[in-house]
Amino acid sequence: MSPINPTRRGVLVAGASAAAVATIGSSANAGDIATGVVFGRVIDADFSRVGAGRSGNGIPGVLVSNGIEVVASDAHGNWALPFRAGAFVFPIRPRDWSIQTQSNRLPFTGYRLDAKASIEPINFEMTRSRDPRRFSVALVADTQPQTSLELGYFRDSILPTITGSGAAFAINHGDIVFDNHALYERYVGLIGATGMPWYHCPGNHDMNGSDATSRFEAYKAALGPTTFAFQYGRATFIVLNNVTPLPNGRLTSSGNDYIGRIGPDQLLFTKRLLAELPEDDLVVVSFHIPLVGFEDPADVSGQTDDARELMRLLSGRQNTLSLAGHTHTTEHHYLGADMGFAGPGLHHHLVLTAASGSWWSGPFDTSGAPVSLSRDGTPKGFHLLDVDGTNYSTRFVPVGTAGDSKMSAAIVAQEEPSHTLAEDGLRVVVSGRCISCSQLGGGRILVNVYDGGPRTTVECRITRSQAGVDQDIVIGLVRTIEIDATAATLFAAHQSSIKPWVVATPSSHLWAGEMPKGIGAGIYSARIDIRDEYGRPNSSTFIFEVTA
């Protein structure tokens, strides 16, 4: 059934505060409902089919919401909420229950209310299921096709890898399309073919029209509400919209017509929902714009101005994670008291790799799709969230020519300015050729750990085998904030296929070290050993030649 026009026996999602409206008892009828209230029941569909009485098939304790208030269904499955015209009402899927998918195979996340309150009940049907303790979630961001052809690139490169990932479901973190909202219908059909549920939150390129109060109408018609939540296992997933349009044609200093802001209504929804959850449950919050800005901390359209309010709400919970996209970069942030998070520990905020990389641009790989290396040198791809009870870890899944590589490494050497492709005029990534001793003098090794962050460690060991004896040199690598030379070189060499706004940007996951002084002619291997944000080891080796 459609999330916009389901039958009155449609399925909905979570609830309102108990103080907001009295719960309707099993004997309630339309005459007992005051004007301005929406009401219904949460029903065990299997129990209904065997002819149980009206009061016997209700499911108690299911949270239902209108995006602000949150209530729990009573002993007979009844619920009631304040009526808000145009809002979605939805049940918050409880663990070990399933809600029927819609005809387009999207998970049902909400029923949109008409302009006037109805006296007809809205009933949500559920069936019993069993959520696993361990499961994975595909974390996607910025799929962002601008054309039908680019949607085909998404179909051919990203979707097969997600389908084979073993994920229980996927969450797309916004910029579902690139302003071309006519692509929604085909997009929905493609993700339906994966056989897994896909949840969505909107991005700035999902806005339509010029009226700040109705700029997500196309998105809602295609994908449903912009605020909702659901549970799976011991995890609760909260999906928010933090893209706030600016009114009256106003623009930010960076020329955007929106800012990053969750807003008081969604914060109130989050507060009320959290009050209903066990304190040790895993809470995962998804939205589009990052909480904090790495590239430009002053850009109000690249970070969330009320992030501290969200952090205060999450404070006191040990198991929390927040996820965003938007920047077409990969970033790990750990937020503490300075951002309003009072612990325990630090709050992990992960900015996800863009599925479209550099907006589906660049030279083509062997499959016929653009390489689309991201601005920080990360391949296009997605992440997996692995959950075990209330514990989690994440991992990056590159797609395309990167294979399953977790890093890239290059020697950045001295070069004549006329031969350089990188932006500073002093260096060039050495690839496919030998390096002279004079070029290597003062050169560096640069390692891009695609999913690296502040907790990642990197070590390089250079080995030369001479007369049957291995000689090892260990290079100390330190995290550096700079442009990835590989990305800068690729973009400069393929300007005709790179979209005009795409430039290499400082990366948060680069490590650099000086090449050894006086290294002589010969053949060398360089082994890169890393331990990622979760302490997991990985390694890669490349070979280079030095000439006299």
Spatial neighbors of 49 by CB under 8 A, at least 6 apart, are: none
For 414, phi and psi rounded to 5 degrees?
-70, 145
Say yes or no: 258 and 194 in one domain. yes
Q: What is the pLDDT of residue 11?
A: 31
Which range is least confidently modeled, 62-71, 383-392, 417-426, 531-540?
Answer: 417-426
Whether 2 maps to a domain, the answer reads no
> Do 283 and 235 form a contact (C-beta atoms < 8 A)?
yes
> Do 8 and 63 form a contact (C-beta atoms < 8 A)?
no
> Do 362 and 150 form a contact (C-beta atoms < 8 A)?
no
Domain span holding position 447:
407-547
Kindly state the percentage of the chain with pLDDT values over 70. 87
Nearest-angstrom CA–CA distance, 158 and 143: 9
In terms of average pLDDT, the best of 41-55, 102-116, 145-159, 505-519 is 145-159
Nearest-angstrom CA–CA distance, 391 and 282: 7
Say yes or no: 261 and 329 in one domain. yes
Amino acid at 203: G
Whether 489 maps to a domain, the answer reads yes
**Per residue in 205-235, pLDDT tens?**
999 977 767 899 999 999 999 999 999 999 9
Nearest-angstrom CA–CA distance, 179 and 177: 6
Residues 45-70 have a mean pLDDT of 80
Residue 468's pLDDT band (cuts 50, 70, 90) = low
Whether 16 maps to a domain, the answer reads no
Say yes or no: 209 and 358 in one domain. yes
**Quick count: other Cβ atoms within 10 Å of Cβ 495?**
9
Give the C-alpha distances (Å, rounded to integers) separating 295 from 35, 375, 413.
50, 11, 26
Nearest-angstrom CA–CA distance, 343 and 504: 35
Say yes or no: 94 and 223 in one domain. no
Helix (H, G, I), strand (E, B) or coil at 484: coil
Tokens of 289: 């714009």
Output the average pLDDT for the chain: 87
Say yes or no: 317 and 358 in one domain. yes
> Do 353 and 326 form a contact (C-beta atoms < 8 A)?
no
Quote the DSSP letter at residue 4. Answer: S
Nearest-angstrom CA–CA distance, 379 and 398: 6
Say yes or no: 413 and 366 in one domain. no
Whether 13 maps to a domain, the answer reads no
Say yes or no: 357 and 424 in one domain. no
Residue 285 scores a pLDDT above 70? yes
Q: State in Å, rounded, how far the first CA of the chain is from the last one.
A: 72
> Do 507 and 481 form a contact (C-beta atoms < 8 A)?
yes
> Do 342 and 331 form a contact (C-beta atoms < 8 A)?
no
Residue 54's pLDDT band (cuts 50, 70, 90) = low
Say yes or no: 390 and 413 in one domain. no
Whether 389 maps to a domain, the answer reads yes
Distance from the Cα of residue 72 to its chain's centroid? 29
Whether 254 maps to a domain, the answer reads yes
Q: What is the pLDDT of residue 305?
A: 97
Say yes or no: 252 and 368 in one domain. yes
Whether 516 maps to a domain, the answer reads yes
Residue 516's pLDDT band (cuts 50, 70, 90) = confident
Q: What is the pLDDT of residue 414?
A: 63
Output b/e per residue, 138-149; b: 16+ Cβ within 10 A: bbbbbbbbbeee
Residue 416 scores a pLDDT above 60? no
Residues 485-501 have a mean pLDDT of 92
Element (H or E) spanning 46, and its range? helix 45-49
Q: What is the pLDDT of residue 449?
A: 97
Which range is least confidently modeled, 44-48, 85-89, 350-354, 420-424?
Answer: 420-424
Residue 20 scores a pLDDT above 60? no
Domain end residue (candidates: 128, 161, 187): 128
Helices (H), 154-284: 159-163, 184-192, 217-223, 264-274
Residue 186 scores a pLDDT above 50? yes
Number of domains in the chain: 3
Nearest-angstrom CA–CA distance, 520 and 542: 18
Q: What is the pLDDT of residue 410?
A: 85
Nearest-angstrom CA–CA distance, 125 and 493: 57
Provide the CATH number for the domain around residue 98: 2.60.40.10
Residue 5's pLDDT band (cuts 50, 70, 90) = very low
Say yes or no: 368 and 348 in one domain. yes
Domain end residue (candidates: 350, 370, 398): 398
Which range is least confidently modeled, 56-60, 186-190, 333-337?
Answer: 56-60
In terms of average pLDDT, the best of 52-61, 148-157, 405-414, 464-473 is 148-157
Residue 73's pLDDT band (cuts 50, 70, 90) = very high
Quote the DSSP letter at residue 18. Answer: T
Helix axes of 264-274 and 307-314: crossing angle, nearest 10 degrees:
10
Residues 316-342 have a mean pLDDT of 98
Give the C-alpha distances (Å, rounded to integers) separating 497 from 117, 259, 365, 378, 445.
53, 30, 13, 18, 28
522-531: strand order across its sheet: 435-436, 537-547, 522-531, 457-466, 469-476
The more confident residue out of 303 and 19 is: 303
For 152, phi and psi rounded to 5 degrees?
-65, -35
Provide the CATH number for the domain around residue 333: 3.60.21.10
Quote the DSSP letter at residue 299. Answer: -
Quote the DSSP letter at residue 114. Answer: -
For residue 431, how many C-alpha atoms fall within 13 Å in the half-sphere facing its CB? 13
Whether 101 maps to a domain, the answer reads yes
Nearest-angstrom CA–CA distance, 116 and 4: 15
Say yes or no: 351 and 424 in one domain. no
CA 142, 146, 151: angle at the middle one, nearest 5? 75
**Per residue in 469-491, pLDDT tens?**
678 899 989 999 999 988 998 99
Residues 358-379 have a mean pLDDT of 95
Nearest-angstrom CA–CA distance, 76 and 449: 54
Helix (H, G, I), strand (E, B) or coil at 333: strand
Tokens of 322: 């927040």
With tokens 């989050």, the residue in question is 270
Helix (H, G, I), strand (E, B) or coil at 311: helix
Domain end residue (candidates: 342, 365, 398): 398
Report helix, strand and coil shares of the chain as percent, to nearest 5: 15, 30, 50
Residue 326 scores a pLDDT above 50? yes
Provide the CATH number for the domain around residue 502: 2.60.40
Helix (H, G, I), strand (E, B) or coil at 488: helix
Q: What is the pLDDT of residue 50?
A: 47
Q: Compute and round to an integer the Cα radius of gyration of the chain.
A: 26
Helix (H, G, I), strand (E, B) or coil at 71: strand
Q: What is the pLDDT of residue 35?
A: 46
Say yes or no: 118 and 139 in one domain. no
